[in-house]
Structure 1
Amino acid sequence: MLPTISAPVPSEPEQQPETQDVLSVTEQEILANIQELQGQLRRMREEQEARQGLIDTQQEEAPKPADMRASRDEVTGEWVFAMSSGGLVTALQGAREEMNFVWIGWLEVSNVPEAEQDLVRTRLMEEYSCVPLFLDEDLVDKYYNGFSNDVLWPLFHYVPLPMYKAGGEKKFDSSLWDAYKTANIKFADVVSSVYKIYRILPVRKPLLEGMLSADLVGFHTYDYARHFLSACSRVLEVECSPRGVDYNNHFMSLGVFPIGIDPDHVSKALKTPWTRIRELRETFVGRKILLGVDRLDYIKGMPHKLLGLELFFTRYPDRTEVPEYKALANQINELVGRINGTYGTLEYSPVHYINQHISQEELFAIYNVADVCMVTSVRDGMNLVSHEYVAAQHQDVFANESSDLQPKDGPGVLILSEFAGSAQSLSGAIRVNPWNTDQLAGAIKQALTLSRVERELRQHKLYRYVSMHTACFWAKSFMQEFREVCDKRKKGIDKLPTLPIKEVRHAYAEAKRRLIISDYDGTLTQLQSLPQLAGPPPFVTSLLENLCRDPKNTLFIISGRERRFMDRWFGNLRVGLAAEYGFYYRLPNQDQWQCAGQGLDLTWKNVVHPIMQYFTERTPGTYIENKESSLTWHYRDADPHFGLWQAKDMQINMEDSLSNMPLEILQGNRMVEVRHQAANKSFVADRVLKAMSEPAARAEHGEVDFVLCVGDDRSDEDMFTMVQRLRDQARASPPSMATGERGDHERDNPPRCMARNANVYTVHIGQDQSQADYKLDSLVSLRQLLRKLDSDAQQGQGAPGSRAPPFHRMSTTST
């Protein structure tokens, strides 16, 4: 006999952050369909709940924050509060015994008078450690039912979207998005007072940006984490790694934290006198029980479960007997009726379909007596039903008591959908594809015929995981990772202090001879994929022109761009230039470019270009940039994942072909570059400082006593290191070397490139780790600093002159 017991529970969605985006017509149409269908489903649920009195049972669900219920006592008129038994609340019961935390959320009432709100806040904090949020009915309906439940919930579970029907008048209701933002702002305000598939969503970008502002984001499964990274990569076009996402100079760490339950709570509940294990065993004595506990939701796979059961009865007719059913949805009603009509008798029905709330004790009792538990979700977050079933099956409650009941014939068997998040962890279950009805029927047959030894082995594996990876373990793991992320972030920030602006301004004003070396792209201007769009804004050009007029200043700009672009942008300024990362350089007041790799063999391009061309032809959206000293393969416009895959494959191929050549293969921002080792920014910094320290220049203008070196990416790290090395050499040099006098020590020590007491500042733009001594948050901060330096100099000495310090031609010996 095979009674199947199914308990539906309502759905609730998760929160997401806020902001805004522009809606296209197609996106509006898609969202309108989602809202309409989900609204219909929600109304059906509400109607059914009103008739049947359904309330939450202990299932994994998308919870409302805090999930606190409030009502007035009919006699006293006082407020009465109760914490819901929703999945998240129940899962954290064990964690609350070992950790202190505060619930923040809205009450399920909207009529708390303002005069009573302070009293309600005080009571909830004292009795439940809960900070309430008071939201009006309209906002709750739009934010929670409208946007969260009807839009986000299906998207998070990969529910296929309906086709938009021509002629439909409904459009995406932007008021739902506005309500969602308003509610999130209210939540954020409460948090601050106490202590924050996407691609088809019109507001996908601000949702992702809101999540990326966090220090740590955790997911229940690796699949969800992987899909989140994919959404960030495609929607925001950022580089992602398994560790997290670097976005707007902030690194968001990513973690996978499968939630669990409290097995001790289940064990204690099974031993209470009102847990009806005895009665259920007596009712179904001599029969096998297949259990399904599901919310009436399109992701739970209830039709799939019943279709599999129907096919099982067809193939194995000797298994057809047992109790009654009730129907809720038409499809479920039809399937249940069909099974019971075909395989039932006048006395028994194969399927019991329970459409009403059952208590926690009742649910655990059913878990305990069931021989098989079927979880057939077509898509689910974790589904803690599987964990609860395993915990309830761990012991025979009457095994050690004198009882007329026969001991259980070993533990039951878990049949688990491969699309449930828990399938990645519960290896002792029989995993099935709920869309494969043949496989599902076979799994039922297998579960009912497994030997006791095999069932015990499977249960041992399952319970070992469930008992170790509890809700408390989940909470502790997340908090430990969170603390480590925050500590690393704090140490990283402390290790790279912010540039002391006042100190720099004072040192600049007091200096006699200054050198400013700056990277171009990402430092003076925003990054641009096309050289034609990368020219400096007029105010940047004007600022550089003012700095160049000061005779105390030598300004050098280093870029990966070609010489022709550097000439076009800065040819009229008295500024030193380095193109292609320093492979070519030009001193201030000179017209001719010099080559760091004079006479070098560039025939290596004949080897590299065909390899890049091969991958370009097979990767849509890519192109090759052929510079004089390098070849760059850009995949910014390609599919992010396929482009990165191809870039790695291409790099492996090139490393094999170029292993004996003096070349560097660099992975950059959506590009792969092959260049000669002589193309290095550190070379420029070294040559410029040595040229400024030559005897004639030093005798006339003195030593360099102020150096500001700024950059934003990995190519600038060697430049920082070179400037720091030259600074350290100068500080360690004997005092007499400053005058140009030669002594015995100069045979062993080269002339220093700057004053022994020179103020040297190497500065990284952004929050990344760097070899620089200091950091600035953004290029805007650098522009502000340069403006202040220019303004200070002009106020201190009047209009600067135009006489430039002499520069002597550098040696062009190749490196």
Structure 2
Amino acid sequence: MFANKILEIYKPGDIVMIHDYHLLLLPSMLRQRVPHMYIVFYLHIPFPSSELLRCLPRRKDILEGVLSANLVGLQAFSYTRHFNSCCTRILGFPSTVAGVEAYGARCNVAAFPIGIDARTVQKLAFEDPAIDEKVAALRELYKGKKIIVGRDRLDSVRGVAQKLRAFERFLEMYPEWREKVVLVQVTSPTSVEEEREDSANKIAANVAELVDRINGLYGSLSFWPVQHYPQYLSQEEYLALLRVADVGLITSVRDGMNTTSLEYVVCQKEGHGPLIISEFSGSAAILESAININPWDTSAVATNIKQALEMSPEKKAVLHHQLSNYVFGNDIQNWTKVVLRKLLTTLSSNTHAFATPLGRDQEFLSSHLGHIPELGFSAEHGSFMRHPGSQEWENLAEIYDMGWQKEVMEVFQKYTEQTPGSFIERKRCALTWHYRPSDPELGERNSRACQKELQSTVAKTWDVEVMTGKANLEVRPTFINKGEIAKRLVESYGKGAGEPPEFTICLGDDFTDEDMFRSLNNSDLPKEHVFTVTVGASSKQTLAKWHLLEPADVISSMALLNGGDTNIADLGPLSVVEGRSAEMEDFPGERLVDQVPDTPVPGTVVEGERS
């Protein structure tokens, strides 16, 4: 429903911003139908750790749905770490603090703590005579008492029960404050989802029991220390309550960005009441001048309540000034600018974000495709070649000194011992250390250390390069790359009249395939006879002129070129979309709709392997 409605009004170039957990699958739905749509997904609630998310049966669907966005925003940095970790541990995609590498492209992930329309809230709170009247009435009602204000939804994560227990502990520890302070707690009715989970109203019953117990122990006929209002408040009542508060108390046990805390700061322009906030709220990370508490430690919360009530006016003014500067400087308007700026930076970035794959060896290629005599092969990123019609492999690196392998092996052995599950693969011209079976975070950390050590030692004394791959490190001679092989293949046909290939198609889905695209784009072959094709997400930056969405489309394309149809092995329709190059003016994209050239001519097919 949401996807259909968006597509009714969508125009090319529009930015689609999707909010919150109800629409986790929507980015994928939109990406499938409009591959070049600019999508931002923003999650307002905390993102769970991988240990929690992996319990869900549809965990992969959730992550894959979100990863179709160009940019994923969360409330706090810790939530971005959880998201990236889930993508690595559950889906196996490599990730960094900047994002996740998925399907040949990077999904950027960043923290954007949301703000409020602070100036509008301030105008509403201080320029409405009706609110002034309510403020005066509340001050008269609680005359001579310090007022602690809490306003929460009545569900399992807002910590209302923890707040009441902490207040009870405060009255127990500091009897001098009894009958001098009142907790005004407003609990809005729970959400529909929470109501289904708590159909017996256990949360409400627990809160009511705590309120009765505290009032019974520390109240009297003329005074109740807890004033509990299980109802919705009007805007005027809510803003008036925030204005009269002496202390704001938020004890969430899990929360995104608690906007009540931000609104409280705005409404304390005159009173400068301290803010006590749970460290488990997303607001705690940005409101540094608030008093952070652990809601499960009732004694510590009680102590902080006392400190807040007894704080000097000078200190309260300083803390409020710092809080107010943040809230007004990072309001919702600034949040919008920051998110859009990040999106535009992401879209305009020319940095490739693809992992380097392994180069398949001769045995792999021979066993899978060696029975086709018309095919020629290049193995291990160009170290070995087998020409069409031949069964002999040509070793292009046989004159190269391979003494560096002993030094590299010693380093790899050290990190293999430190990384359970990792192993070393020895090739004829390269050494590769794999850590995919290991713990992702441990493997990634040791991989960076290993890469740093190799670059500072072996890479400085030998003519080799250290390449990062998909959960692996590979060391190989610098002359080995697919671009040189593509160049050699083209030149092998000759440059005389009628000798160069009339049709050349080069396909690949990895970073090393960009060497082939660059080589063919710069070759002397007629541009209209060369088709460089990247495979993967439509948002990936590439030097290729053409774009296929997935490996199945490659097989469909080959079937069409061979005079067949696209339904080979029930692979589905061919999807070809506009290419997106690193320099759009130098490598302009073209657009096809469900078709490729249907008249095959003699030529060269150069294809990068998929690992």
Corresponding residue number in structure 2 for 1:267: 123
| Aligned equivalent of 1:332, options 200, 207, 211 | 207
The answer to whether the aligner puts 1:289 opposite 2:90 as a matched pair is no
| Aligned equivalent of 2:547, options 763, 775, 778 | 775
Corresponding residue number in structure 2 for 1:211: 66
The answer to whether the aligner puts 1:239 opposite 2:38 as a matched pair is no
Corresponding residue number in structure 1 for 2:419: 619
- CA separation in 1, counterparts of 2:418 and 2:260? 47
| Structure with the greater alpha carbon radius of gyration | 1
| TM alignment of 1:9-24, pairs within 5 A | 14-18=21-25
Gaps of 5+ in 1: 1-12, 20-151, 162-196, 396-409, 494-520, 528-558, 728-753, 806-815
| Aligned equivalent of 1:440, options 289, 301, 320 | 301
* CA shift for structure 1 position 225: 2.6
- CA separation in 2, counterparts of 1:468 and 1:315? 39
* CA shift for structure 1 position 393: 0.7
Corresponding residue number in structure 2 for 1:256: 111
- CA separation in 2, counterparts of 1:600 and 1:492? 32
**SS class of match (1:791):** coil
Preserved CA contact (<8 Å) 1:325 1:349: no
Q: What amino acid maps onto 2:232 in structure 1?
A: H
The answer to whether the aligner puts 1:349 opposite 2:224 as a matched pair is yes
* CA shift for structure 1 position 604: 2.0
The answer to whether the aligner puts 1:411 opposite 2:272 as a matched pair is yes
| Aligned equivalent of 1:424, options 279, 285, 310 | 285
- CA separation in 1, counterparts of 2:486 and 2:430? 20
**TM-score with structure 2 setting the length:** 0.74
- CA separation in 1, counterparts of 2:499 and 2:50? 73
**SS class of match (1:292):** strand
Q: Which has the higher contact order (CA 8 A, sep 6+)?
A: 1
| Aligned equivalent of 1:595, options 381, 389, 395 | 395
Q: Is the alpha carbon distance of 1:302 and 1:159 closer, same or farther for their aligned partners in structure 2, counting shifts above 3 Å? A: farther
Q: What amino acid maps onto 1:677 in structure 2?
A: T
Q: Is the alpha carbon distance of 1:777 and 1:358 closer, same or farther for their aligned partners in structure 2, counting shifts above 3 Å? A: closer
Q: Is the alpha carbon distance of 1:156 and 1:325 closer, same or farther for their aligned partners in structure 2, counting shifts above 3 Å? A: closer
Q: Is the alpha carbon distance of 1:315 and 1:667 closer, same or farther for their aligned partners in structure 2, counting shifts above 3 Å? A: same
Preserved CA contact (<8 Å) 2:247 2:273: yes
**SS class of match (1:666):** strand
Instruction: State percent identity of aligned pairs.
Output: 35
Preserved CA contact (<8 Å) 1:635 1:671: yes
- CA separation in 2, counterparts of 1:609 and 1:377? 52
Preserved CA contact (<8 Å) 1:302 1:376: yes
1:195-239 deviations in Å (ceiling 9; x for gaps)? xx4321111222222222333332222222322222222222222
**SS class of match (2:425):** strand
1:420-479 deviations in Å (ceiling 9; x for gaps)? 111111122111111222321221121112211111111111111222322343345445
Q: Is the alpha carbon distance of 1:394 and 1:594 closer, same or farther for their aligned partners in structure 2, counting shifts above 3 Å? A: same
Preserved CA contact (<8 Å) 1:157 1:299: no
Q: Is the alpha carbon distance of 1:481 and 1:683 closer, same or farther for their aligned partners in structure 2, counting shifts above 3 Å? A: closer
Pairwise CA RMSD: 3.6
- CA separation in 1, counterparts of 2:220 and 2:527? 100
- CA separation in 2, counterparts of 1:411 and 1:769? 51
Q: Is the alpha carbon distance of 1:371 and 1:157 closer, same or farther for their aligned partners in structure 2, counting shifts above 3 Å? A: farther
Preserved CA contact (<8 Å) 2:561 2:600: no
Q: Is the alpha carbon distance of 1:369 and 1:722 closer, same or farther for their aligned partners in structure 2, counting shifts above 3 Å? A: same
1:703-739 deviations in Å (ceiling 9; x for gaps)? 4444333322122222333334442xxxxxxxxxxxx
| Aligned equivalent of 1:449, options 302, 307, 310 | 310
Q: What amino acid maps onto 2:175 in structure 1?
A: P
- CA separation in 2, counterparts of 1:321 and 1:797? 91
- CA separation in 2, counterparts of 1:776 and 1:242? 28
Corresponding residue number in structure 2 for 1:607: 407
Corresponding residue number in structure 2 for 1:317: 175
Q: Is the alpha carbon distance of 1:656 and 1:232 closer, same or farther for their aligned partners in structure 2, counting shifts above 3 Å? A: same
Q: Is the alpha carbon distance of 1:654 and 1:480 closer, same or farther for their aligned partners in structure 2, counting shifts above 3 Å? A: closer
Preserved CA contact (<8 Å) 1:708 1:763: yes
Preserved CA contact (<8 Å) 1:624 1:634: yes
Q: Is the alpha carbon distance of 1:609 and 1:379 closer, same or farther for their aligned partners in structure 2, counting shifts above 3 Å? A: same
Corresponding residue number in structure 1 for 2:513: 716
* CA shift for structure 1 position 342: 3.6
Q: Is the alpha carbon distance of 1:444 and 1:160 closer, same or farther for their aligned partners in structure 2, counting shifts above 3 Å? A: farther
* CA shift for structure 1 position 628: 1.1
Q: What amino acid maps onto 1:639 in structure 2?
A: D
- CA separation in 1, counterparts of 2:58 and 2:421? 26
- CA separation in 2, counterparts of 1:236 and 1:757? 39
Q: Is the alpha carbon distance of 1:274 and 1:654 closer, same or farther for their aligned partners in structure 2, counting shifts above 3 Å? A: same
1:30-60 deviations in Å (ceiling 9; x for gaps)? xxxxxxxxxxxxxxxxxxxxxxxxxxxxxxx
**SS class of match (1:411):** coil
| Aligned equivalent of 2:531, options 754, 761, 777 | 761
| TM alignment of 1:467-546, pairs within 5 A | 467-479=328-340, 481-482=342-343, 488=348
Preserved CA contact (<8 Å) 1:270 1:365: no
The answer to whether the aligner puts 1:458 opposite 2:314 as a matched pair is no
**SS class of match (1:293):** strand
Corresponding residue number in structure 2 for 1:702: 499
Corresponding residue number in structure 1 for 2:468: 667
Q: What amino acid maps onto 2:361 in structure 1?
A: E
| Aligned equivalent of 1:785, options 533, 557, 576 | 557
| Aligned equivalent of 2:264, options 389, 395, 409 | 389
Gaps of 5+ in 2: 1-19, 27-42, 188-202, 565-597, 605-611
Corresponding residue number in structure 2 for 1:227: 82
Q: Is the alpha carbon distance of 1:324 and 1:299 closer, same or farther for their aligned partners in structure 2, counting shifts above 3 Å? A: closer
Q: What amino acid maps onto 1:627 in structure 2?
A: K
Q: What amino acid maps onto 2:77 in structure 1?
A: Y
1:240-262 deviations in Å (ceiling 9; x for gaps)? 34443343356544343322223
| Aligned equivalent of 2:436, options 636, 659, 662 | 636
**SS class of match (2:532):** strand
- CA separation in 2, counterparts of 1:797 and 1:656? 50
- CA separation in 2, counterparts of 1:721 and 1:433? 56
Preserved CA contact (<8 Å) 1:303 1:332: yes
- CA separation in 1, counterparts of 2:98 and 2:600? 52
* CA shift for structure 1 position 481: 4.6
- CA separation in 2, counterparts of 1:209 and 1:797? 37
The answer to whether the aligner puts 1:376 opposite 2:238 as a matched pair is no
**SS class of match (1:386):** helix
Stretch deviating more after TM superposition (235-244 or 437-446): 235-244
- CA separation in 2, counterparts of 1:325 and 1:692? 85
Q: Which of the pair is proportionally richer in strand?
A: 2
Corresponding residue number in structure 2 for 1:683: 484
Stretch deviating more after TM superposition (205-214 or 248-257): 248-257
- CA separation in 1, counterparts of 2:21 and 2:112? 16
* CA shift for structure 1 position 484: 6.0
Q: Is the alpha carbon distance of 1:757 and 1:479 closer, same or farther for their aligned partners in structure 2, counting shifts above 3 Å? A: closer
Preserved CA contact (<8 Å) 1:629 1:679: no
Give the count of matched residue pairs: 510
| TM alignment of 1:550-589, pairs within 5 A | 560-572=359-371, 573-589=373-389
- CA separation in 1, counterparts of 2:148 and 2:474? 61
Q: Is the alpha carbon distance of 1:796 and 1:306 closer, same or farther for their aligned partners in structure 2, counting shifts above 3 Å? A: closer
**TM-score with structure 1 setting the length:** 0.57
- CA separation in 1, counterparts of 2:232 and 2:487? 77
Corresponding residue number in structure 2 for 1:55: none
Corresponding residue number in structure 2 for 1:69: none
- CA separation in 1, counterparts of 2:117 and 2:560? 60
Preserved CA contact (<8 Å) 2:46 2:255: no
| Aligned equivalent of 1:305, options 147, 158, 163 | 163
Preserved CA contact (<8 Å) 2:429 2:477: yes
